[in-house]
Amino acid sequence: MMVAGHLQEKKGLFYIVLNCKDDQGKRKPKWIPTGLTVKGNKKKAEGMLLIARQNFDQAADVKQEQVKKTATNEEHTDEEQILFSDFMLNWLEIMRHSVELITFISYTNAVKGRVAPYFREKGVMLHELKAQHIQDFYQHELQVRGVSANTVIHYHANIRKALQYAVKTELIGSNPADLVERPKKNVFVANFYNANEMNQLFENIKGLNIELGVILAAFYGLRRSEVVGLKWSAIDLKNRTITIKHTVTSGSLDGKLITIEKDRTKNKASRRTLPLVDAFYELLVSLKHQQEADRAICKGSYCMDYLDYIYLDTIGKRIKPNFITQNFPIVLKKLGLRRIRFHDLRHSCASLLLANGVGMKEIQEWLGHSDYSTTANTYSHLEYSAKISSAQAMSECLYTFKHSDMKKGL
């Protein structure tokens, strides 16, 4: 006979309460945390309750609970008996509807890919978790697996945020992640093409399916998501402008590739309007004619789902974000050009603007950075022309000062 049970609300969360009995036949309810918030999760919690009732072996569970109780000197309640790895997975489900999908994908890859498996193998309970456990995990990732410091910092952000939630819901008294020493962030140095390399690239990609992506990234400094997300409605032919306002990203969630379309950019500053230069205007006109020709040739086989988008293949399907980054290095190798990442074209755009006397503030607006410091920190080492001008100005100043002193001496 399946054990009886019900859902109980506590501190804004659902708990499963199973109506168990001890060896003497006395009622001894078992509390199981679902990790689900009450709002909007009732059906899911009911499903978890049914599974818990079906899979519950009362006799074995009573014995297990007696062993746990003896080992912990009755210090912790049933609702606290949860592995840290399980808690992290429960926290993920809570985050599913609290953050952007692309952010949730990032959380999932970190937690399911590395954090939960490591701590499950260690068997660390949530209430037993210490700063040293977390520190050991970071050292293992850095020294054994050889991941970057930035990756570990990403793990730390997930763990700390999850434990902060555990503190908030009174599952633990304090956050052990606050006592952990994070590794120092890797210093990022942008890679870029110079003007000659850019011109050589432009000359050799004409007619290739990656041409549009390269031009948008190198000339306008667009991100990959902005390149793929560009629509015909963003082009104002009358005023000759291009407005960056729609993005398309992708990510793998539980082994399935998901495409995310947004009628907004990465941040407010990323929504920007740029001038439509003649060369790009001509390319757009050519693309429009080509798409009309492709549609006429393919007829009923032509994909009608993405007519609003500019970057399509010959059968009308929108170019995938991964296609660009995967094929760009292949194209460079075939052309015999120096290998850089597709995103480095954006850095190349900034470096050429700097070399031609454009100021950091203007570059920030051109690239759509949310704050000035991002631009300055990324490209300050490239601002060589400005340093030459400063050196020249100082030299002239000192020269005048020196000769002025000489005249006074005479």
Q: Looking at residue 346, which CATH number applies to its domain?
A: 1.10.443.10
Q: How many CA atoms lie within 13 A of 374 on its CB side?
A: 13
pLDDT, tens only, 138-165: 999 999 999 999 999 999 999 999 999 9
Asked whether residue 199 is assigned to any structural domain, the reply reads no
What pLDDT is stored for residue 2 in this prediction? 64
Higher pLDDT, residue 84 or 98: 84
Q: What is the CA radius of gyration of the chain?
A: 29
What pLDDT is stored for residue 217 in this prediction? 92
pLDDT, tens only, 257-304: 889 998 877 777 788 899 988 888 888 999 999 999 999 999 999 999
Asked whether residue 344 is assigned to any structural domain, the reply reads yes
Query: Is 14 in contact with 34 (CB distance < 8 Å)?
Result: yes
Residue 343 belongs to what domain range?
218-353+361-369
Query: Is 162 in contact with 87 (CB distance < 8 Å)?
Result: yes
Tell me the C-alpha distance between 109 and 251, whole Å.
10
Asked whether residue 93 is assigned to any structural domain, the reply reads no
């390319």: which residue's tokens? Answer: 283
Q: How many CA atoms lie within 13 A of 39 on its CB side?
A: 5
What pLDDT is stored for residue 144 in this prediction? 95
Asked whether residue 189 is assigned to any structural domain, the reply reads no
Tell me the C-alpha distance between 375 and 368, whole Å.
9
Asked whether residue 14 is assigned to any structural domain, the reply reads yes
The dihedral through the CA atoms of 398, 404, 407, 409 has a sign that is negative
Asked whether residue 197 is assigned to any structural domain, the reply reads no
Question: How many structural domains comprise the chain?
Answer: 2
Asked whether residue 255 is assigned to any structural domain, the reply reads yes
* 59 band by pLDDT with thresholds 50, 70 and 90: very low
């109980």: which residue's tokens? Answer: 8
* Long-range residue pairs from 374-380, CB within 8 A, at least 24 positions apart, any chain: 375/350, 378/188, 378/190, 378/347, 378/350, 379/190, 379/347, 379/350, 379/351, 379/354
Asked whether residue 321 is assigned to any structural domain, the reply reads yes
